[in-house]
Structure 1
Amino acid sequence: MREAAFVKQNKDKWLKFESLLKNNTHISPDELSASYVEITDHLSYANTFYRGSNTAKYLNDLASQAHRKIYKNKKESKNKFILFYTKEFPLFFYQYQKQLLFSFIVFALFAIIGAYSAANDDSFVRAVLGDAYVNSTLNNIENNDPMAVYKQASETDMFLGITINNIRVGLMAFTFGVLAGLGTLVVIMQNAIMLGSFQYFFYDKGLLWASARTIWIHGTIEISVIIIAACAGLVVGRSILFPKTYSRLQSFVTGIKDGLKIVISTVPFFIIAGFLEGFVTRHTEMPDILAILIITLSLILILWYYVLLPHRLHKKFVDGK
């Protein structure tokens, strides 16, 4: 939406609210709170799409006035953390749906390449996964427990180790975006090829379903947020390559800030994935229906938060639908 259209659509609400604040007119707490939430949503949108504009400055001033009136002689709201995840971030992330789609397509493409390479070269899996892992897994298969790798460490140790490692991979995907996005693409490529060859390895052993129903219990969220972290790196890369009307430095700083927000959003999901891998995946004896339920709910959670919710909030607070 163009800035002029955004202003035209909402200016009557802003002027009315400004008048109530300036004239110290009595406003019910519920009305004041509802108006404040709406103004801050508009401010978030303006900072995203019209950063530094008069509209953004005006809304920032209006929100500040409302904040002082609401929180006068009170401490800062304790719900700022919750508001970031439930409203501010999803609304902000709407603008990066294309980068998310591109990140997913690249990951899927290289996963297919990894599987194809493993199918045509017997040594490829060992080159990617390492001899130690392959030999250990072959031994587990002979012992009729192909997923035993998820049972070797204690629950807590695996949870902490996996979570830290996954966050490290996410940060790499983001920070390597400073190499004009090429570093991020390398991270995507490495992880996708590993996944593709990994899944083909079990397929070749006649264990595709046994591996998939186990691995994707945690992998649904884990792989998804790696793709999302890569999206953050692509945002940084795009800010360098395509600064638009900004100077390249201004665009880069904005890209870093926006990418960092995306990475921060993934941390709770990395923790969930680590918890599932440490405490749940190891229970390979669980019924298939339960594994399918966990995988399905995980996929719904990711799609809802990173795709459906951003579109829903954009329609509600920007398009007015």
Structure 2
Amino acid sequence: MREGLFIKKNKDRWERVQQESAQGADEMATDFVKLVDDLAYAKTFYPTSRVTRYINSLAARIYLKIYQNRREESNRLLKFWRYDVPLTVKKHHTIILIAFIIFALFFSVGFFSASHEPGFVREVLGDNYVNMTEDNIEKGNPFGVYQDPNSFVMFMRIMVNNILVSFIYFFRGIVLGIPSLVSLGKESIRLGAFEHMFYVKGLAGKAVTTVLIHGMLELTAIIIACAAGVVMGTSFLFPGTRRRVDAFREGTKDGIKMIIGLVPVFVLAALFEGFVTRYYKMPLPLNLALLFSSVVFIVWYFIIYPARLSASTQEPKEVHA
């Protein structure tokens, strides 16, 4: 069959599937089976044609709908982290990138301010923390702060604190997102001053490899939490073609998805901080392997996977004979 005739024969059904929702599970299953048949035929006779990509996109979209309509609670929970969170993150990649730039900028401000103002570190981190850290450095245990006698209590305390702080940063964003970014900037300055405190002692590299065992996950989650606050706060300001109240409702929903999606990340970061970071004198290859695994997870789950998932579920373009 010529490609033009193949398209003409099935075009009306494809357009119905694209534009209208199925009236029930049976109709959806029937549409899916027919699309799979069409796809198999198209891949056989027109493997490089646009119509093959078009049918594949339609079939993929229906497959996701079928998956999303499963009623098992465990599947809904899995769907949330497998589809909802990554797609929402991808939708707001630009805001997350802006939040990361702000983090990097103010981290630099904190680091270089500490290098030019001798009292800046104490002003930002507090005398007690600085005195304790300097005392630990003199004892040859610069990161003793992570060696709480009770690992489990430390894990629980850090986990609860970080989750609560992330929700606070998020809800502050209701005022056009500005307070969330201010909170992120202050946190970044403190971290820059913290890093400089070890830099002047010749421990900059060790501070990076130690703190980022848990900090890579923790800081990424904080950046995204503040970005979620901006998503909520700016949705009312930039409604697009929607009513402002509808845009705000959608922005709040997206922000909540992002912030709840970060909870497992905070749990994992707290596990590392409570049970792993205390062994910062571990062999360097093991230390770097842990750090690299965190980087790979972050890049995959928050950048690569959302982009691929979004590309596979985007609206197909109309095909003309």
Shared fold (TM-score greater than 0.5)? yes
Number of corresponding residues? 283
Relative to the length of structure 1, the TM-score reads 0.80
Show the 5 A alignment for 1:1-321.
11=15, 13=17, 21-22=26-27, 38-39=61-62, 41=64, 67=69, 76-318=72-314
Relative to the length of structure 2, the TM-score reads 0.80
Give unpaired runs (5+ residues) of structure 2.
Answer: 1-11, 37-55
SS of 1:180 mapped into structure 2? coil
State the 4+ residue runs in structure 1 displaced beyond 3 angstroms: 8-20, 22-28, 34-38
Q: Which has the larger radius of gyration?
A: 2
Question: Percent identity, aligned pairs only?
Answer: 36
Q: Offset of 1:9 from its aligned partner?
A: 12
Q: Structure 1 152/22 Cα, relative in aligned 2: closer, same or farther at 3 Å?
A: closer
Query: Please, what is the CA RMSD of the aligned residues?
Result: 3.1
SS of 2:202 mapped into structure 1? coil
CA distance in 1, matches of 2:212, 2:109: 20
CA distance in 2, matches of 1:254, 1:301: 28
Q: Offset of 1:211 from its aligned partner?
A: 1.3
Q: Offset of 1:122 from its aligned partner?
A: 0.9
Contact 1:214 1:284 in 2 (8 A): yes
Q: Offset of 1:88 from its aligned partner?
A: 2.6
SS of 2:236 mapped into structure 1? helix
Q: Offset of 1:38 from its aligned partner?
A: 3.3
1:49: which partner in 2?
none
Q: AA paired with 2:287?
A: A
CA distance in 1, matches of 2:152, 2:227: 30
Q: Offset of 1:36 from its aligned partner?
A: 9.2
Q: Structure 1 295/26 Cα, relative in aligned 2: closer, same or farther at 3 Å?
A: closer
Q: In the TM superposition, what whole-angstrom CA distance separates every residue of 1:205-237 from its partner, at most 9, and x where no partner exists?
A: 111112111111000000011001111011012
Q: Offset of 1:13 from its aligned partner?
A: 4.5
Q: Structure 1 218/9 Cα, relative in aligned 2: closer, same or farther at 3 Å?
A: farther
2:52: which partner in 1?
none
SS of 1:241 mapped into structure 2? coil
1:3: which partner in 2?
none
Give unpaired runs (5+ residues) of structure 1.
Answer: 1-7, 44-62
Contact 1:172 1:187 in 2 (8 A): no
CA distance in 1, matches of 2:29, 2:134: 75
Q: In the TM superposition, what whole-angstrom CA distance separates every residue of 1:39-90 from its partner, at most 9, and x where no partner exists?
A: 374x6xxxxxxxxxxxxxxxxxxx69x95xxx7xxx6453110111112321
Q: AA paired with 2:131?
A: N
Contact 1:199 1:208 in 2 (8 A): yes
Q: Structure 1 246/287 Cα, relative in aligned 2: closer, same or farther at 3 Å?
A: same
Q: Which one has more relative contact order, counting CA pairs under 8 Å at least 6 apart?
A: 2
